[in-house]
Amino acid sequence: MGKDTTKNLVGQPIFKQIIKMLPREQFDLLVKQCGSDRYYKTLFSWEQLIIMLFGILSRCDSMGEVCDGMRALSGKLNYLGMDCAPSKSTAGDALRDRDEELFRLYYFALIAYFRPLLSVSRKEKVSFEEFYAFDSTTITLFSQVMKGVGRNPKGDGKKKGGLKVHMLTDVHSETAIFAKISEAKMHDKKFLAHLNPGKGSMLVFDKAYNYYAQFAEWTREGINFVCRLKDNAKAQLQDVLFEKTLQKGESGVYKIEHIHLDYKKDKQEKTLCLRLVYYKDEQGRKFKFITNNWEITAEEVALIYKYRWTIELTFKKLKQNFQLHFFYSETENGIKTQVWCTLIAHLLLNVIRAISKSEKAFSTVAALIRIHLISHLDIKWVVVEGRKTYIQRKKGRNKSPTALQTTLF
């Protein structure tokens, strides 16, 4: 392989370049607000964040691997403002005792800080500027912490623990803007009470969140939504607004109805007025979508629900590119801290993709960052130009093996 004479070295390793992206002032304000450094003489909050991000971005399986890996960096720790690598016990104690609330609040602060950068993209043929999807994903824990995953054990067996990450994402930028961690046994619809969408926004979600009282409240507040209708829903047909027969192999909207759904609030029977859209996709699958918006076309209703898949892709990125099946602590506080730090790492990689304007897959960017985490290379060059520097091998090099090579076989 020919020699690459292009100079892309910088004075700081890639990990330091990532840390510099974080607004330190906001973090320090939250530390004072939460009192996270009170009674600590070593391993302050900022150092713990650095340690967690190093372990997450390098995909370490345990806190022991994280500490040993940082200890091997030797003199490079001064770039991070650290004198030495922490011991496993010190890092484990901080993960257990320091309240995860600090990292939760910082994640939300980072969402607001980076949102102008990430909100430049826009989905085609969707008329809503504020377009959100929400769903939840379950993460299994191999302990009894945060019970609620798996079947009930037989005999002396133990039931696995588990947690749910409930997430609200901006569909246009494919970035999470709100998240909540709960036990896996918590019903999904309880997450709705924590949302605060703006008037005129559009929400899309699955039928697991069918909660008619909340739908009615959103309708009164001018908040739009699209979701699937449950199979056992007792809908009262008021009028057929549109109907046509699809030919064999044809897809699209084939019926629109005006329906009423009954619900109870304050022990009183109330009625919710909705539009029901029947849709058949290219694979022949039939769907029933309900919405409280009567102005957009039925085709846009189906398209909006199709974009709900973006949140599933977000969950896939989190589980495939970060170690959410190996946790550095067996305590609930430590597990939640790691999840919040993982979400911060995910957000930072999205920011790197946006800054570099890279078209590479998220998994490719994550792998490049992991491989070159301590390399003194420009992070934008690694993400964008790294693959273009390979030079074709010159002909005639190493035509025949040396005498030493021949003796090895």
Query: What is 44-97 written as a DSSP string?
Result: -HHHHHHHHHHHHHTT-SSHHHHHHHHHTTGGGGGGGT-SSPPPHHHHHHHHHH
Confidence of residue 118 (pLDDT cuts 50, 70, 90): confident
- CB of 236 closer than 8 Å to CB of 261: yes
Query: Is the pLDDT reported for residue 399 higher than 50?
Result: yes
pLDDT at 84: 79
Q: Which residues pair with 135 in a beta bridge?
A: 167
- Distance (Å, whole) CA 330 – CA 185: 19
Q: Token digits for 12?
A: 């700081």
pLDDT at 1: 44
pLDDT at 295: 95
Residue-wise pLDDT tens digits, 201-242: 999 999 888 889 899 999 999 999 999 998 888 899 999 999
Residue 1, helix vs strand vs coil: coil
Angle at 299 between CA 295 and CA 305, to 5 degrees: 95
pLDDT at 83: 75
Residue-wise pLDDT tens digits, 240-263: 999 999 888 899 999 999 999 998
Confidence of residue 276 (pLDDT cuts 50, 70, 90): very high
- CB of 255 closer than 8 Å to CB of 203: no
Confidence of residue 332 (pLDDT cuts 50, 70, 90): confident
Confidence of residue 301 (pLDDT cuts 50, 70, 90): very high
pLDDT at 289: 96
Residue 191: DSSP 8-state: G
- CB of 301 closer than 8 Å to CB of 289: yes
Confidence of residue 47 (pLDDT cuts 50, 70, 90): very high
- Distance (Å, whole) CA 298 – CA 348: 37
- Nearest CA to 214 among 175, 188, 240? 188
Higher pLDDT, 300 or 184: 300
**Domain regions of the chain by residue span:** 14-101+329-389
- Distance (Å, whole) CA 250 – CA 257: 20
- Distance (Å, whole) CA 400 – CA 100: 61
Query: Is the pLDDT reported for residue 173 higher than 70?
Result: yes
The sign one gets for the Cα dihedral 310, 314, 316, 317 is positive
Rounded to the nearest integer, the mean pLDDT of the chain is: 85
CA dihedral 276, 281, 283, 287 (to 10 degrees): -10
Give the C-alpha distances (Å, rounded to integers) separating 120 from 159, 170, 171, 338, 369: 45, 11, 12, 29, 24
**Residue 41 CB neighbour total at 10 angstroms:** 6
Q: What is the mean pLDDT of residues 40-48?
A: 88
Task: State the angle between helix axes of 88-97 and 332-356 in degrees (0 to 180), rounded to the nearest 10.
Answer: 100
